[in-house]
Structure 1
Amino acid sequence: MIELQNICFEYGSEEQNIAGRGALHNINLHIPEGQIVLLCGESGCGKTTITRLLNGLIPHFYEGNLTGTICIDGKEINDQPLYETALLSGTVFQNPRSQFFNVDTTSELAFGLENRGMEETQILKKVDKTVQELKLEKLMNRSIFDLSGGEKQKIACGCVSVCSPNIIILDEPSANLDLKSMEQLHVMIEKWKVEHKTVVIAEHRLAYIWNLIERMVFLKEGKIEFDFSKEEMQKLTPRDLHQMGLRSNQDVKMVHYNRNENIDRIVFKNFVFGYEKNHNILNLKTMEIDKNSITAIVGNNGIGKSTFLRCICGLEKKCKGIMEIDGKVYKRKERLNEIFLVMQDVNHQLFTESVLDEVLISMKEENEEKALDILKSLDLLPYRERHPVSLSGGEKQRVAVATAIASERSVLLFDEPTSGLDYRHMLQVARLFEKLRNHGKTILVVTHDLEFIEALHANTICLEELQA
């Protein structure tokens, strides 16, 4: 049983939120044992903050002003050592990379059990069982650094499942998962439900878990605005959810829009690359996309979508592929000047001390007025003086999109740009992409977000179908 009583919290130091973003105000929440609860609301409403209260990261890791009581199974955990709280719950973080301690996947799965002093034979038995249940066989004995974002997410889920805590906390667990992996996550949550686990899920993508959720807590500006029962949830339509700023509760089908046969093409040839010798993750002889258009690249986790983007923009020196536009061939060094990439993990490309500076350094010639206009278009103007590291995952994502717009490159690449974005901000990014397309930009986006593809009316290409 989880009990939050009269909880108020404001982040301190670097995490101090403007206008209370991420803060909590007079939260009273009772979650009985075995309930599956959804925490939802727009970015910055306080979902992640509540998960940090439940796993003890607040107040032990994230500093701030906390009042009220946090109880688990009748025991107050506010002042309890973090290592004791860790025995009560398991968490999959929004960025799974931040919770890994080993360099290989098998050791990572065993790590939590080793810390509990479990015998080796028992550890191996539990790891094998979890691998089979989550279908992780292909990910075992792999380097953590060679995994895709979605594969890391699956390993993080495995690390929680293998320890079998009574409380499981998931923060945007589907952010980088393909449809098949989301189905596997659904099966895993269903299994936890049968085992009478308490599961708290902070999530934007709702359709894949809608039939499992027993309760929906909707947060707005740090307060609980609605607390829907299962019966009340079933009455909510996609339109109701959209008006609340939430994603649809119904599956969106993949739509393949017809390409314009009269439009110029950009051609990619001989993009072959592998991180290991004699093992190519990418083997693409040729691919064409429409110039001055939006194309979505789809496919399963781990087939090389992110690697393809890195090769296109010239980051992978060993890839000898070429790009051809209007009859002109662009080799790797030339592509570096023509293409801008927004990575899946945007923490790798945020360098400055403020959001405004981040946009300014991306410009060919600094123009503060133009930079402020870009930030305004993405609801980032209030954060212009904030350090990018202090922002939420969705806010960082929008800052990275802002830098791409500011670069004014002719070809823009985006790797999962809507991961961590709520419905309103997802639509906002879609409208900006359309505006860029109308200004002659070519946009190539890797995404599993079918709602985003639908909003863009993007051409779709399945990378697996083109691999040699």
Structure 2
Amino acid sequence: MSGYEKRQTVVSFENVSFQYPGAKGSSVKDINLDIKSGEFVVLTGGSGCGKTTITRIINGLAEKFYEGTLTGKTSLLGCPISDYPVYEIGKLVGSIFQDPRSQFFASITEDEVAFGCENYGVPFEELETRVAEAVRGINGEMLLGKEIYPMSSGEKQKIAVASVSAVNPKIYVFDEPSANLDMFSVEALKGLMGKLKEEGHTVLVAEHRLYYLTDLADRFLYMENGRLEKEWSSEELLQLPEQERKTIGIRIADLHKIETAIPEKAEQSEILFVCALSFAYRRKPVFENLSFKAYSGDLIAVIGHNGVGKTTLANILCGIKKEKSGKVLYCGREVSWKRRRNFAYFVTQNTDSQLFGDSVAEELKLNRKNAEDGQIEELLRLYGLYEWCDFHPATLSGGQKQRLTLAVSDWIDTPVLILDEPTSGLDFQNMRRISDHLKSLAEKGKTILIITHDFEFAAMTCNRALYFSDKSHVEDFSLQGNLDKLYSCLMAQ
């Protein structure tokens, strides 16, 4: 960075540690970090390493909302962070969360974009200008006047960025911003971040997916067990030996270097036959005359842009929704929509909607009444969750919740398993853990459909792809030797 040493330090940590209420230890430990004005910094590392906590310290939520214990010296624009009231931090630090729905207060686009400015008493004449500029900044004119909640994840992410940029903070903090986005939307997010950097804003991103940030980041900081352990420039990260990358457990920085050796699966017994399936919401077709087959042992990537009907298909296959027309056959027999839950289990993208227990262990007991402690321990260790067995599911990270719902699906054990974005919020080690486990289930004959936008995960896991190219056409192709095609389909919009 030009004139780096002369730039103002906007965020400073000196021997900073933080512990959440009731936690056995500190989430971050002895952090020393200076972030300069206009710098673009990426925090990465395994789930639970402390990335999100760093962002919460900077935006004031760690102490003010989570009521944890903060030690050491922390400053924002030269003043101790603890001296700022939360509303004042909000003017200086704009936060975009992993799930933007959690930060929305209005139902219509322009109302949400204006909300922060209204709270800070921005005059009406200036407010209109700020909202218009923020919407133009995300190329979101087509979103004006529309309800937010039916929008795609990418559109919601855009609105979250616009609502923050209307306040015009000096610092932007992103927490896992790509977790719920398709690859096309990730590229759009990259463009928005690049614009913020060009305008001179300081940007901090806590992220597992790194490939889209190598053109933007000035520094990549690797965290482990609450500590800052390594630092790379983009060039150094891209040159990191593959074995070292896998050992420390970070996602690949160059998608062109992905290696896969997925064998062709011989067609075994037909488990699922979707025949001329159609569905519509309020007379608006979602898909029409959809047909495909799946066999025992298949690991199928279900791909296509947001809103094309992938999740709707999953809901039909497991009996949550009823098709408009067509048939669903399991093992050669047509099955009514109400009985499909006996054949297919759906792990949804919204994990909170599938977790009901008072603890992680209790969640498993709810789904197997006579489970022994040894069985519970074995399953939780398989998914890397045993040390959280007594924690309430609501206190887990997004990636941990994702793994818990997958553990539950193991015990429900239907012939067909459907997963919706199972790698959102997952680091490399846990992504590989899930991939290996799904492969082992497929080897035992389970048929697995995976709705995903994650090129890296699909390439290392699946043997086939079903590409929803439009409302009436699904292209079925093998992934053996077809990674370029998979990439093109995931990037299509």
Q: Number of residues paired by the alignment?
A: 462
- The DSSP-based 3-state class of the residue aligned with 2:283 is coil
Structure 2 unpaired stretches of 5+:
1-9, 474-493
Instruction: Note the residue ranges of structure 1 that are not aligned, 5 or more in a row.
Output: none
In 2: Cα distance, 1:324 partner to 1:440 partner = 17
Determine which of 34, 37, 44 is the counterpart of 1:40: 44
- Residue 208 in structure 1 maps to residue 235 in structure 2: no
Cα RMSD, aligned residues only: 2.4
TM-score with structure 2 setting the length: 0.87
Q: Which residue is 1:25 aligned to?
A: 29
Q: Does 133-142 or 61-70 show the bigger shift?
A: 133-142
Secondary structure of the 2:191 match is helix
Cα separation, partners in 2 of 1:459 and 1:136, compared to 1, 3 Å:
farther
Q: Which one is further off, 432-441 or 101-110?
A: 101-110
Report the AA paired with residue 2 of structure 1. V
The aligned residue for residue 332 of structure 2 is: 327
1:93 to 92, 97, 112: 97
Asked if 1:301 is matched to 2:306, the reply is: yes
What does residue 171 of structure 2 align with?
Answer: 167
2:18 to 9, 34, 37: 9
Q: Could you say which residue in structure 1 is the equivalent of 2:183?
A: 179
* Contact 1:322–1:332 under 8 Å retained in 2: no
CA drift at 1:466:
5.7
Q: In structure 2, how many angstroms separate the alpha carbons of the residues matched to 1:292 and 1:362?
A: 24
Residue 267 of structure 1: which of 267, 273, 280 is its match? 273
Name the amino acid aligned to 1:380: L
CA drift of 1:405 comes to: 1.0
Partner of 1:147: 151
Q: Deviations over 1:14-46 (max 9, x none)?
A: xx2x5x4x7111111100100000101100000
* 1:296 partner SS: strand
Going from structure 1 to structure 2, the CA distance change for 1:46 and 1:102 (only over 3 Å counts) comes to same
Name the CA shift for 1:345/1:132 in 2 (closer, same or farther; >3 Å): same
Task: Indicate the SS of the match to 1:204.
Answer: coil
Q: Counterpart of 2:446?
A: 441
Distance 1:404 1:339 in 2: 10
Query: CA–CA distance in 1 between the matches of 2:309 and 2:438?
Result: 23
**Pair 1:300–1:257, CA change in 2 (3 A):** farther
Cα distance, 1:282 vs. partner? 3.8
Tell me which residue corresponds to 1:288: 293
Q: In structure 1, give the amino acid aligned to 2:197.
A: K
Residue in structure 2 matched with residue 363 of structure 1 by the alignment: 368
| Equivalent position SS for 1:397 | helix
With over 3 angstroms needed to count, the CA separation of the structure-2 counterparts of 1:116 and 1:318, relative to structure 1, is farther
Deviation digits for residues 347-379 of structure 1, max 9, x if unmatched? 111111011111222237544433321111011
CA contact (8 A) 1:360 1:406 kept: no
Q: How much does 1:412 deviate?
A: 0.9
Given the superposition, is the C-alpha separation of residues 317 and 155 from structure 1 closer, same or farther in structure 2, using an over 3 Å criterion? farther
Contact kept, 8 Å, 2:271 with 2:296, in 1: the verdict is yes
**1:89-113 CA-partner distances (Å, limit 9, x unpaired):** 1111122221111223332222222
Per the alignment, residue 77 of structure 1 pairs with 81
1:37-87 alpha-carbon deviations (Å, 9 max, x no partner): 010110000000000001010100012221122211111121421111111
Structure 1's 369 and 143: CA in aligned 2 closer, same or farther, altered over 3 A?
farther
The sequence identity of aligned pairs, in percent, is 36
Where does residue 228 of structure 1 map in the other structure?
A: 232
1:387 aligned to which of 386, 389, 392: 392
The answer to which of 312-321 and 174-183 deviates more is 312-321
Structure 2 CA distance for partners of 1:237 and 1:108, relative to 1, 3 Å: farther
Q: State the Cα distance separating 1:182 from its structure 2 match.
A: 1.1
- For the residues of structure 1 that align with 2:242 and 2:115, how far apart are their CA atoms? 41
Classify the secondary structure of the residue corresponding to 1:200: strand
CA contact (8 A) 1:313 1:339 kept: yes
